[in-house]
Every structure is written in C-alpha cells, then in structure tokens.
Structure 1
Amino acid sequence: MSRESPSVTFDRVSEINGDAPTLIEGLPGHGLVAAITVDVITRQLSLEHHGNIVSEDFPPVTSFKDGRVRDLVRVYARDDPAVMTLQSDVALPGQAFKALSQCILDDLAQEFERAVFLAGAPAESEDQIGNVVGVGTTETIESQLRDAGIQPADGPGLIGGITGALVSKCHHADVPAAVLVVKANPYLPDPAAARSVIENALEPLVDFDIDTTELEEQADQIRQQMEQIAQHYRQMTEAQQQQESEEPPGVTMYQ
C-alpha cells in the first residue's frame, strides 16, 4: 500500500544571497518561549519575508495583522547576520509535522547551514525559569553548544510535540540540528524564559546581538498579545494528553 504524501507547498517570496543561515524554529510550545523569542529576533534583525508554508494539515483558520490576511506559517531570513526564522500564528497539531518536515527538508534545508529548535520544559520553581540546556544531533553541533557555554541535557529525555518530530526528521536526514531546552511556565506566555534563551544561548551560539529590554519592560503586554495562542496551545495539549499513553518511567518530556 502506498502512503500519500502530505499536501504542502513553499511559496518563496524572496531570495537568500550570501552565507547559509542558521534556521531558528519558533513554533508555539510550553510557555510560548519559541514564539516569543523568534518574534523578537525577526523584528530586531529586520529579517525579510522569505516565504510561506501552506498545507491542508494546518488548522483551518485565518491569520491577519493590521487588517491584512497573511499565511499561518511563515519563514523570514537575512544575509547579515545569516539568520532564518520559522514562525506560526497558531499552535500546530501533531499531524502537521509530516507536511512541515517535508517542506523543511525538501525546500529549506538546502538553504540553511543548521537548525536550532526551542523546547520548553515546565519549571518547578521561579528559580528554574530560564535555565537552558542543549541537545545536538551531531558531534559538531554538540561541540558548538559547548563552545557557546550551553550545558548538555542530563540523562534520558524525550522531546515531544511537533518540535520533537521535526528534530527526529532532521536527525534521520543528516540535517545538523540543536535543541535548546529552557525551563519556563508550562502554560502562560513566559517572556523571562525567552529573554534567558536569547541572552544565554542564542546570542553566543548564532553570534548576533538582540536588545532584550522589551521582554522585561513589556512583559505584561507581551503576555496579553500571546494569550490567544497560549489558550489554543493549552486546549490542544489537553486533548493530546487524553489520547496518549503514559510516558516511560524516569524519562523527562519537553516540547
């Protein structure tokens, strides 16, 4: 029996000229750390709209900004610094990973040098918020994480959700990838965790400079702006938890 290929297209709207960039994933997850982080990076580095990822597997909703409709999942990029970001205006369900991974591997992997994924881990106390550890798919990536001062994640663990599925696809396709696991509020938008992952991990790893002042001074405003996405993510994860079996004992889950 043949398997149907996922329906997905990448609509490119601009070209990348120069060094291959680092792709930074910003899909909504625990604490919306990835979404908040990538939004700040995209704006402050003035990344250009590179293209849109369109698939029937994405939620059937319409996204807009300032009165103008736009695609749910978008890619931004710039030559200097060589950075590419992946953004989504809504939490994506697990079944969307096939379409998204196909687009990343078939259309984008030839353009970027490595991928950096961001995963939130539920913080058990205020002191833990912002703690960052790393996971790599290759020895080179592990070395780059160490050189950036990012400690490796201890013991066994699982990276769940669509982020974990994308990392697995990159690993099997020999696409160099790193995962930055940051402790964050598991359900409320967490600008403090986003600030930490930028300052303590992404800046030394990717070599750019971001002013994170707004993540502290405008924390309440950011939480309000992200609350709709956070609510959708909570509903989606609660539904998934009802369907999934228990995790293996002694294994930590991030997503």
Structure 2
Amino acid sequence: MARISVLDDDVSLEEPTLVEGFPGVGLVGKIATDHMIEAHEMDHYANVHCDGLPRVAVYREDNPAVTTPVRLYVDTERDLVALRSDVPVKPGAATEVAGCLESWFAETATFPVFLSGLGREKGEAPPALYGLATGDGGDRLDRVEVEDPPEAGLVSGPTGAMLAEALERGRDAVGLVVESDPQFPDPEAARILIREGIDPIAGTETDTDGLVDQAEEIREAKQEFAERMQRATEESSQAEPLKMFQ
C-alpha cells in the first residue's frame, strides 16, 4: 500500500521546500541532498512506502535498526524537507512513485525542487546550471536568476515522472539541471546545485566547501553505486538534449 509513514507526529511544517535526491547522472541529486541532510543535521522524519520501490531493507554502520531505502528528512527551523534515496527506481515504476509522492506534496503544501544531471564532458569552466518550472515555479527561478536551458531536452526517470505529475496537476515546482560528469560521481556539480540553485530557492545557507575538499572521498564511497547505475542507465533520472527536425 502506498503511503508516507511519519515517525514523529509532533513535527510541524508550514509550506516546506522539498529537495529531491533520487540518483541519476553524476549522482548529483543524491550527493547534494545527502550533503544538505548532514550539513543541517536534518532529522529522519518519514519512511516512504510507494508501489514500485524495491522491497529492500537498509541498515547503517553501528546501528541494527533497518529502514526503507527511500526516506524523508526534515529541518523545521528552515522549513526544509529532503528526500534521500539509496536505490534507483526502475523506468516502469517511475510513474507509480511519482503519483505516491505527489499525494503527499498536495497534503503538506510542499514546494518541490527536483534535481537532475545533464551529462557533459568536464572542462575548465564550472558546470552550468539551468532551471525548469511548472505552475508558478518560474517566478522563483526569476527571483534567484537561474538561467533558462539553452537547448530543448527531456528529463527521464523518477525525476522526470515527478515533473510530469506536477505539470499535469498544475503544481508549482522547480527543476534544476546541472552539467555533470556522465560517468562518475560529480561533487563539484552537486556543489553548484546547492550554492546557485537550492540555497537561493529554499532560503538556506549550506556550507559546501567540504564537497570539493572531499571530492576523492565521495568518489570512492559512491563508486560502486555509480557502476551499478552505468549498467542500467535507463533507470537513472537525467536530462538530455532532445534531437528533432524542425
């Protein structure tokens, strides 16, 4: 049964901003979301039980308790929610997962910020960041001066399905697309996501120096995960150019 199982009913949220961290190209969304959870010492708020998510149990070092692979974390002071995912979502399940989460967004008046990587070979210039929007989400992009995409494209995977769900329901939402390493975890791109996109939109201040300083450590820690994602790239959330004749 699809549901969001809240662990603490005393937690009060007003109109929270949610940062989505499903894994995708460069693992940028996951790295950015995981970093924000740690940097702001966010509390484990809810377990996500959605049809289509793998039926697996996750455990942590020095802790015997198991949890769901997709969880919500909260910072009530900043009115911030983060979705942390330890698993990819299969293409056939993306629509079910998006519908499950959309119901919770509607109940809690949540403003979602969806994150995606656009595969680009690394160059000397910092990764570029582009904004997408549904409903009145474009107003927030205008206020924080996130650039429009320079070419047509599409967003796939669970992130794309959630954007499509928001579009269908007329929900205000933002999508952030950052140029990312197409083969390896990209903490530099995740840092751009936070510094130039998430923080301005959510009104937060996140120390991101550690993302670059510890880039090699993050790369090693995520390497096995990235290799699994490369073997099944169709399961990833990603943005890509849309080729067509005009």
TM over 0.5: yes
- Work out the number of aligned pairs and report it: 238
Matched, 1:25 2:20: yes
Let me know the Cα RMSD of the aligned residues: 2.1
Matched, 1:71 2:68: yes
Query: What's 1:96 paired with?
Result: 93
Code of the residue aligned with 1:11 in structure 2: it is: S
CA distance in 2, matches of 1:124, 1:71: 34
Structure 2, unaligned stretches of length 5 or more? none
8 Å contact 1:24–1:115 — kept in the other structure?
yes
Structure 1, unaligned stretches of length 5 or more? 1-6, 241-246
* From 12, 30, 42, the counterpart of 1:47: 42
CA distance in 2, matches of 1:185, 1:226: 14
User: C-alpha offsets along residues 36-62 of structure 1, whole Å, 9 cap, x if unaligned?
Assistant: 000011111122212111245223443
The secondary structure found in structure 1 opposite 2:183 is: coil
User: C-alpha offsets along residues 184-232 of structure 1, whole Å, 9 cap, x if unaligned?
Assistant: 1012110010111111111111111111111011111111111222122
The secondary structure found in structure 1 opposite 2:30 is: helix
* From 192, 196, 199, the counterpart of 2:195: 199
Code of the residue aligned with 1:65 in structure 2: it is: R
8 Å contact 1:191–1:222 — kept in the other structure?
yes
Runs of 4+, deviation exceeding 3 Å: none
The secondary structure found in structure 2 opposite 1:127 is: coil
**Which deviates the most, 221-230 or 58-67?**
58-67
Code of the residue aligned with 2:15 in structure 1: it is: A
Percent identity at matched positions? 27
Query: What's 2:225 paired with?
Result: 229
Query: What's 1:149 paired with?
Result: 145
Matches within 5 A, 1:65-214: 65-66=60-61, 67-68=63-64, 69-127=66-124, 129-138=126-135, 140-214=136-210
Matched, 1:35 2:48: no
Shift of 1:157: 1.4
CA distance in 2, matches of 1:227, 1:112: 36
